[in-house]
Amino acid sequence: MSTYRIQGDTGEWEVVIGLEVHAQITTNAKLFSGAATAFGAEPNTQVSLVDAAMPGMLPVPNGECIRQAVRTGLAINAQINKWSRFDRKNYFYADLPQGYQISQLYHPIVGEGAIEIQLDDKNPDSVKTIGVERIHVEQDAGKLMHDQHPTMSYVDLNRSGVALMEIVSRPDMGSPAEAGAYLSKLRTILRYVGSCDGNMDQGSMRADVNVSVRKPGEDLGTRTETKNVNSVRFVMAVVEQEAKRQVALIEDGGKVVQETRLYDPDRNETRSMRSKEDAHDYRYFPDPDLLPLVLDDAYIEECRASLPELPDAKRQRYETALGLSAYNAAVLTADVETARWFEVLLAETATKANKPEAEVAKQAANWLISELFGALNKLGKNLETSPVTPAAGGELLALIADGTISGSIAKQVLEKMLETGDGAGVIVEREGLKQTSDTGAIEAAIDGILAANADKVEQFRAGKEALFGFFVGQTMKAMQGKANPGVVNELLRKKLG
């Protein structure tokens, strides 16, 4: 369904993309040791004897990591393998104390699943299903530090042994946008499930991007793998650059070699890291220190029961039960924290306005998306750092809902709330911002305006209906925004008619 094409000299080219995403499992201990996993800790302070691979040390699986992998699998409707096993991937490197990484090559814990992406939030037909081949659990390596000493490299083992899920997609994506949407959606799901915090800038989520090109309808081309790409934007850039590079290469008579590449964001290009010829022979074999992982139905059901409402279901509910637009539902469910914020806001608004949630949902959604997001953005803040709590937002919205203030006054009130941290009620009271439905005062204002604009009144009566908005605006201005817009409309109609 993707219509993304690269125009080469010899015609159009299709791009085929698969992603292998490494997601750090949210847990306070490592995969096979009890060591802590705090980000940003002093080097080598989160290291147990097991992580440092001292002689005679043995791995013991951390049940929480297994549970999170199973929950993640269930969240993408994947097959959960009741029998899985850990394998050793053998290679030498200074950041790999054991000389092998414990992973799952032959029998991963999670099998086939799928993730739905939507390329255009406003177009329900832009939905596409991306297959997930497997999820397996494995250890992370440590980190080399080359800038600490003029001639030596230092090793920090804090990350050594940290639990990762490797989530391997099918080569089902056909454009940078699809790759970006898949990664975003996957991140959303992981954050909902709580199995990964999705902090790409801290390295808790990163993608290996597999790209190949072909003429439409032809067999798959040779792919390259660009490693450790750590943002949605970079993944999209890698796909674009790598596809272009491959097309140019092939059209110049060259051949794509299967190799590992690195992305350089400063130059927006990928560079060869190592080719298949000097690829390691990892000598995978079952880890004899560990027994196979055997899960029973009760355990899997317990994991399933622990799942929260997932993004697709939530979005559906927002549209059908709350009557939100497809766009608003998409925006509010894209991140679990936004959805959580919205749901508290909604509950507070409904309670304070004494109305059913469905009745105030649209208003709450619009306010959050078009008012609060904008205001926070200007302050360089986000929902997490917002000075306005969902409860305070609910108070403000309830004031609009019960007619105490108008929408435009609400904007002023929000500004004051952000400025002072005071509640909406206090501000409205203190600043005298309550909306008036006092017909006498409004009528007096209207009379003045009609008298001062006799020419326009005439034009209106001659059929220039558009001028009605002008009179409303003038009246509201004269009333300093505090007039009830309904009453203003009604009175104007009467006097102009």
Partner 1 sequence: MTDLTDLGIAAIRKGVADGEFSATEVATAFNAAVAEAQGALNAFIVTTPEKALDAAAKVDADRAAGKPLGKMAGVPIGMKDLFATHGVQTTAASKILEGFKPQYESTVSAKLWDAGAGMLGKLNLDQFAMGSSNETSAFGNVISPWRRPNDTAPLAPGGSSGGSSTAVAARIAPAATGTDTGGSIRQPAAFTGIAGIKPTYGRCSRWGVVAFASSLDQAGPMARDVTDCAIMLEVMAGFDPKDSTSLDMPVPAWSANLSGDMKGKKVGIPREYRLDGMDPDVAKSWDDGIAWLKDAGAEIVEISLPHTKYALPAYYIIAPAEASSNLARYDGVRYGLRDLPDGAGLQDMYAATRAAGFGPEVKRRIMIGTYVLSAGFYDAYYTQAQKVRALIARDFTRAFEQVDVILAPTAPSSAFALGEKSADPLEMYLNDVFSVPASLAGLPAMSVPAGLDRSGLPLGLQVIGKAFDEQGVLNAGLALEARAGFTARPEKWW
Binding residues vs partner 1 (CB under 8 A)? 49, 52-61, 88, 90, 92-94, 97-100, 153, 155, 281, 283-285, 288-291
Choose between 290 and 295: whose C-beta lies nearer to partner 1.
290
**DSSP per residue over 75-131, as a string?**
HTTPPBPSEE--EEEE---TT-TTSEEEE-SSS-SB--EEEEEES-TT-GGGEEEEE
Containing 244, the helix (H) or strand (E) segment is helix 232-251
Question: 58, exposed or middle or buried, with CB in 10 Å at 0-12, 13-18, 19+?
Answer: exposed
Choose between 84 and 98: whose C-beta lies nearer to partner 1.
98
CB of 153 to partner 1, least distance (A): 8
Choose between 58 and 444: whose C-beta lies nearer to partner 1.
58
Choose between 56 and 432: whose C-beta lies nearer to partner 1.
56
CB of 103 to partner 1, least distance (A): 13
Query: CA 161, 204, 344, 374: dihedral to nearest 10 degrees?
Result: 160
Choose between 282 and 373: whose C-beta lies nearer to partner 1.
282
Which residue reads 């097309």 in tokens? 247
Q: How far apart are the first and last CA of the chain?
A: 56
Choose between 86 and 192: whose C-beta lies nearer to partner 1.
86
CB of 100 to partner 1, least distance (A): 6
Residue 99 · residue 92 · CB < 8 Å: yes
Tokens of 244: 């272009």
CB of 49 to partner 1, least distance (A): 6
Choose between 153 and 320: whose C-beta lies nearer to partner 1.
153
CB of 289 to partner 1, least distance (A): 5
CB of 32 to partner 1, least distance (A): 9
CB of 87 to partner 1, least distance (A): 10
CB of 90 to partner 1, least distance (A): 5
Residue 209 · residue 179 · CB < 8 Å: yes
Q: Are strands 205-214 and 224-229 parallel, antiparallel or unpaired?
A: antiparallel
With CA atoms as reference, report the closest residue to 409 among 345, 349, 477, 329. Answer: 477
Choose between 56 and 253: whose C-beta lies nearer to partner 1.
56
Choose between 146 and 255: whose C-beta lies nearer to partner 1.
146
CA distance 224 to 242: 8
CA distance 289 to 98: 12
E strand spans, 249-355: 259-264, 269-275, 285-286, 293-294
Choose between 157 and 235: whose C-beta lies nearer to partner 1.
157
CA distance 151 to 494: 87
Report which DSSP code applies to 204: S
CB of 279 to partner 1, least distance (A): 10
CA distances 113 to 64, 170, 298, Å, are 21, 10, 20
CB of 224 to partner 1, least distance (A): 21
